[in-house]
Structure 1
Amino acid sequence: MLLPAYNGGHRLAWRVGEYLGAVRRGRFSRCAACGRWGPNLYRRWVIRPELERRSGVSPRAAEAWALKESGDCVHCGAKLRARRIAEVILRLYPVGDPPRPAPSIRRWVESAEARALLVAEVNEVEGLHRQLLRLPSFRPSEFRDDAPPGEVVDGVRCEHLERLTYESESFDLLITSETLEHVPDLSAALAEILRVLRPGGRHFFTAPILPGVSQTFPRAVLRGDGTIEHLAPPVSHPGGDWGYPVFTELGEDFPAILRLAGFEVETAFGPLREDDVCQVYCCRKPADGPRST
């Protein structure tokens, strides 16, 4: 009887501290995902000391990384990175006559313009996912290493960014968040994303590009027998020494890599700074480029 009460008391104390922190720092905003006004709850502990040590980030950059991975909307749970992706969607896909940004994704999905779009998501973006489920043509999927791409497990479609099973030119918009660094073959993933987008279609995503990493480099490679060869000290998310392995350390040159892959690139909420590492990358497939085969 005492242990549940003790744990419950600690959870309550943590939550009160998160609310007080939002008040002290003035972290209040209208959530672009759900549209409601309220505090954004910061959790410094989401960036664990081992992850911080292995990644080699400064304390200030680690705090910014923690804000990116928390800053939760108290109503819908959307993290800062999800809310920023939502803001980009609202800006680049206006609705109405004359066209203007909807006040939230919750309202946006009700519009005829949004409901005419074919939208895919690879790996759930918390907070944003729940609102997008209301789109009739929304196609969410999750990566599972124990299921082949295209298989449905427990009602959820499985996809791998290196080997998407969708037909070419299937989507107007594809969304990922904190995923590309975990793909063994980044070039193959970018080529697949480009393939499944319609001409003029977009890929919106966030990725852990940290100040001080000037050039993208491979941290590990996947061997043919399924084992991982580490080319640099191993890093996994979210624990540092446990979780999903990082295959590619993305550097500040990453936008140039995206352009070489065939995308037109815009960086929202930039530039990358030590106190703000939550940029949204907006990659557009050229409308007049070669058609996918």
Structure 2
Amino acid sequence: MDTRHLEFFVAVAEELNFTRAAARVQAAQSTVSAGIAALERQLGGALFERSTRTVTLTPLGEQSVPIAREVMLGVRRLGEQGAQTKAGVRGRVRFGVMTNLAWLQLPSAIARFQQENPMVDVQMSVSPRGSTGLAADMRRGRLDIALVGLRRDLLSGLDVVRLTRQPYVAVLPLTHPLARRRSLEITDLIGDPFIDLPRGFGTRDQLDAMVNLAGGQRRVSVEVPDLGTVPAFVRAGLGVAVVPVPVADGAGLVTIPMRAVPPWELLLVTRPGESSPAVDVFAGLLRDWTRARSRAVEEFTRNSPTPQG
């Protein structure tokens, strides 16, 4: 059985589209179709139901997907183990991140990793759909590892490690009536227009849930794709915001601790049973790097002035 045919099969099973699968495995669509046909002959049955518009898995296909993934993983691990013995860690790491992690200084972290592991190809992508999109890409096998800000109950079927917990703060203009308060609750701000991320991002969904739990409604007047840009919109007088401490750029603004809002968690997510030496080493660097950066943020926060009044 040709492992390349198994790769074609898994790609089509995950994409449910022969054109996208062919692009993903970097092969002609006719080559992918021929490989699937050869595999079906070997297995004695059809793996897919095909129509002019849709591709779906047959019962045989559904049963074969996890087995094919396991075989491919074993082959990949065998190859990587041999390469590691000869020349250190090598392989590929497909890494997904949110759009609001500038405080982590990830370019420096990746540069350090690649200096220490030059035979590992790190392919980093930023999800325009936030943590929800990253979790979906993890489940579909498009990523090996990701940093997300979702609740754990939304990450079932994935391995999850918490890297840091950060409190939320309100970000207000200097002239806001509540600017001299020592702390706030989410209900204190419901009458204000909010600057926030689109739905599907972890912080947005968490705050929406808190507002609903309090029995209120809030108006999000400006949606931005990057949480790091939120303070600039508050500074321009377009609304207020509630963000995790690391992204609360307080220059020309007031930042006030939030009460009764659970801390934001940054989670490291991998797929169970599908690791590799390269992914393991990269995950270790992310854990150490994130915790060091979090300590730096906490130290800065402790030394920052608190609101008066």
| TM-score using structure 1 length | 0.30
| TM-score using structure 2 length | 0.29
* Structure ID, larger Rg: 2
